[in-house]
Chains A and B, each alone.
Chain A
Amino acid sequence: MSRTISYRNALNEAMAEEMRRDPGVFVYGIDVADHKRIFDSTKGLVEEFGPNRCFSTPLAEDAMTGFGLGAAINGMRPVHVHMRVDFLLLGLNQLVNMIATHRYGSGGQMKVPMVIRAIIGRGWGQSYQHSKSLHSWFAHIPGLKVVMPSSPRDAKGMLIAAIRDDNPVVFIEHRWLYDAMGEVPEDCGSIPLEGSRVIRPGRDITVVGTSWMNVEAVKAAQILEKHGVSVEVVDVRSIAPFDSQAIVDSVRKTGHCIVADNDWVYCGFSAEIAATVYEACFGQIKSPVERIGYAAVPCPCTRPLENEFYANAVDIIRAIEGKLGMKPVDLSEEDFYSYENKFKGPF
Chain B
Amino acid sequence: MKDLNLQLYRKLFLIRKAEDAIRRDYSRDKMKTPMHMSTGGEAIAVGVCHALRAQDQVMGTYRTHGIYLARADETDQFFAEMYGKATGMAKGKAGSMHLTAPHAGLICTSAIVGTTIPIALGAAFASRQQGSDRVVAVFFGDGAIDEGVFWESLNTACAMKLPVLFVCEDNGIAVHVPSEQRHGYAAIDQVVAQFKCNVFVSDSTDAEVLYNLSVDAIKAIGANGRPAFMHLKYYRYLEHVGVNEDFAAGYRDRGEYEKWRQRDPVEIQRKKLLQWFKEEEIHQVEREIETRIERSIEKADAAPFSAPQELYADVYA
* Cβ of A93 under 8 Å from chain B: yes
Bound complex: CA of A301 vs CA of B255, how far in Å?
Answer: 61
Q: Which of A71, A106, A166 contacts B125 (CB 8 A)?
A: A71
Q: In this complex, which of A64, A69, A75 has the most chain B Cβ atoms within 10 angstroms of its Cβ?
A: A69
Bound complex: CA of A217 vs CA of B204, how far in Å?
Answer: 68
Chain B positions near chain A (C-beta within 8 angstroms): 57, 88-91, 93-94, 98, 100, 102, 107-108, 110, 112, 115-127, 129-130, 136, 148-149, 152-153, 155-156, 159, 313-317
Residue on B with the closest CB to A67? B122
Q: Which 6 A-B pairs have the closest CB atoms?
A: A70-B122, A66-B118, A108-B314, A107-B90, A74-B126, A63-B152
By a CB distance below 8 angstroms, the chain B residues around A108 are 313-314
Given A60-B152, A93-B115, A109-B102 in contact, is the A67-B94 Cβ separation under 8 Å? no
Bound complex: CA of A64 vs CA of B120, how far in Å?
Answer: 11
**Docked-complex contact A60 and B156, CB < 8 angstroms:** yes
Residue on A with the closest CB to B158? A58
* Interface magnitude class on chain A: 35 or more
**Docked-complex contact A93 and B93, CB < 8 angstroms:** no
Q: In this complex, which of A72, A76, A97, A166 has the most chain B Cβ atoms within 10 angstroms of its Cβ?
A: A76
**Docked-complex contact B102 and A66, CB < 8 angstroms:** no
Could you give, for residues 237-253 of chain A, a 1 whenever the CB lies within 8 Å of some chain B CB and a 0 otherwise?
Answer: 00000000000000000
**Docked-complex contact B129 and A73, CB < 8 angstroms:** no
**Docked-complex contact A70 and B316, CB < 8 angstroms:** no
* Cβ of A167 under 8 Å from chain B: yes
**Docked-complex contact A167 and B118, CB < 8 angstroms:** no
* Cβ of A57 under 8 Å from chain B: yes
Given A106-B90, A143-B315, A143-B316 in contact, is the A60-B122 Cβ separation under 8 Å? no
CB proximity of A193 to chain B, nearest CB, Å: 11
Chain A positions near chain B (C-beta within 8 angstroms): 24, 26, 52-53, 57-58, 60, 62-76, 78, 93-94, 97-98, 102-113, 142-143, 145, 166-167
Bound complex: CA of A107 vs CA of B57, how far in Å?
Answer: 19
**Docked-complex contact A74 and B127, CB < 8 angstroms:** yes
By a CB distance below 8 angstroms, the chain B residues around A58 are 152, 155-156, 159
By a CB distance below 8 angstroms, the chain A residues around B153 are 60, 63, 66
Q: List 29 contacting pairs A-B, 8 Å CB cutoff, sorted by A.
A: A62-B149, A63-B121, A66-B115, A66-B117, A66-B122, A66-B149, A67-B121, A68-B122, A69-B122, A70-B118, A70-B120, A70-B122, A74-B107, A74-B123, A75-B130, A76-B125, A76-B130, A93-B149, A94-B115, A98-B112, A103-B316, A103-B317, A105-B93, A106-B102, A106-B314, A107-B91, A107-B93, A107-B94, A107-B314
Residue on A with the closest CB to B97? A105
**Docked-complex contact B314 and A60, CB < 8 angstroms:** no
Bound complex: CA of A63 vs CA of B159, how far in Å?
Answer: 13
**Docked-complex contact A104 and B93, CB < 8 angstroms:** yes
By a CB distance below 8 angstroms, the chain B residues around A60 are 118, 152-153, 155-156
CB proximity of B236 to chain A, nearest CB, Å: 24
Bound complex: CA of A53 vs CA of B124, how far in Å?
Answer: 14
Residue on A with the closest CB to B132? A74
Residue on A with the closest CB to B89? A107
CB proximity of A166 to chain B, nearest CB, Å: 4
Given A64-B156, A93-B112, A109-B102 in contact, is the A71-B126 Cβ separation under 8 Å? yes
Bound complex: CA of A98 vs CA of B119, how far in Å?
Answer: 9
By a CB distance below 8 angstroms, the chain B residues around A63 are 117-118, 121, 149, 152-153, 156
Bound complex: CA of A98 vs CA of B98, how far in Å?
Answer: 11
Q: In this complex, which of A94, A106, A143 has the most chain B Cβ atoms within 10 angstroms of its Cβ?
A: A106
